[in-house]
Amino acid sequence: MSSPDVSIIIVNWNSKDYLRACLQSLGRHHPPGLKLEIIVVDGASFDGCDRMLAAEFPEVRFIQSRENIGFARANNLGARHAGGRNLLLLNPDTEFIEDSLSLLGARLESLPKAGAVGCRLLNTDRSLQTTSILNFPTILNRVLDSEYLRRRYPDSSLWGNAALFRQGTTPVAVEALSGACILIRKDCFDLIGGFTESYFMYGEDVDLGYKLRKAGWLAYYIPEAQLVHHGGGSSRQTVSNFSTVMMRVSCHHFMRLHRGLAAATAYRIAMGGSALLRLLLIIPLLPFGNQFVRHGRASLGKWLAVLRWSVGGKPGRT
């Protein structure tokens, strides 16, 4: 039996309904001529996706983890069982609206030094998802990162996603791609050791892009390929204090791994200073409601949580 062209790896955690819709959309837009292998790893959610897959998608290979091992370890587990030349790392809350996979595969084969490619992600309402492209964290771009500045200057080089706002369909080399959908060469994935498993939540995709570039490969954004990413389907959270802090924890971990203890310490101090400054600006404006502070007391709680973490506190699930 010949090896598959692409092994699709999907990590499930309480996302059975999204997973079903994802696989149905893949069936509607199956790439002609490509032999696919689909592997689903459940991270101890035990949400019944095993029974659903057996009944509706018997060709899918299912791997049950007995514990919630996180996004990175679950993807690596799936990759160890994959036989494809390329891996499609795919979130369960994605939906194919065209044959994006054929296009991504063709670009992966033709672009110079291409190790991975990603597509233009769309929200459920088909608006642009600005996290399709990611950048490597620095102290400056994290201190300045805010909803207001991103709305005011969406194509700033600080965010690393200017390619999203360019006209045309020319592929662009970028620093990192959203982990919602990455097509990567299996030999590249193995060479760089897959996802770094010391991450549990957030940051794994940026770290993967960094290791890929360090190994001499490039990640490309392919604007002509589109995919809906419903977002939030797995975590069932919008913006909680816990997830806000965990994003900072992941950035701190990235700094520690790739730029050293001094940079990681400086980042933590900078985050504390940034949080304190924002609190000093928010607190006097709270009596005026959302007229001046867009998310009111939610913003207060968020920056208090970041400040607590910056001085050594642990993230709490709030």
- State pLDDT tens for residues 11-37: 999 999 999 999 999 999 998 889 999
Q: Read off the tokens for 181.
A: 């959908």
Q: What is the pLDDT of residue 159?
A: 87
**Average pLDDT of the chain, as a whole number:** 91
The number of beta carbons lying within 10 Å of the beta carbon of residue 127 is 8
Q: What is the pLDDT of residue 231?
A: 79
pTM, to two decimals: 0.91
Q: Read off the tokens for 187.
A: 């030999």
Closest among 69, 105, 71 to 91, alpha carbons compared:
71
Alpha carbon distance 218, 86 (integer Å): 15
Q: What is the pLDDT of residue 293?
A: 53
The number of beta carbons lying within 10 Å of the beta carbon of residue 226 is 18
Q: Read off the tokens for 262.
A: 């001094």
Contact between 136 and 36 (Cβ < 8 Å): no
How far does CA 194 lie from the centroid of its chain?
Answer: 15
How far does CA 179 lie from the centroid of its chain?
Answer: 3
Domain extent listing, the chain: 6-229, 241-310
Q: What is the pLDDT of residue 318?
A: 47
Contact between 223 and 165 (Cβ < 8 Å): no
pLDDT tens, position by position, for the chain (318 residues)? 678 999 999 999 999 999 999 999 999 999 888 999 999 999 999 999 999 999 999 999 999 999 999 999 999 999 999 999 999 999 999 999 999 999 999 999 999 999 999 999 999 999 999 999 999 999 999 999 887 788 888 888 888 888 999 888 999 999 999 999 999 999 999 999 999 999 978 999 999 999 999 999 999 999 999 999 997 434 443 458 888 899 999 999 999 999 999 999 999 999 999 999 989 988 876 666 655 455 556 778 888 999 999 998 777 654
| Burial group, residue 197, by CB count within 10 angstroms (0-12, 13-18, 19+) | middle
- What is the CATH architecture assignment of 6-229? Alpha-Beta Complex (3.90)
Whose tokens are 């770094």? That residue is 196
Helix (H), strand (E) at residue 182: strand 181-185
Instruction: Write the CB contacts of 178 (distance below 8 Å, at least 6 apart in sequence).
Output: 118, 121, 129, 131, 132, 133, 134, 205, 229
Q: What is the pLDDT of residue 296?
A: 58
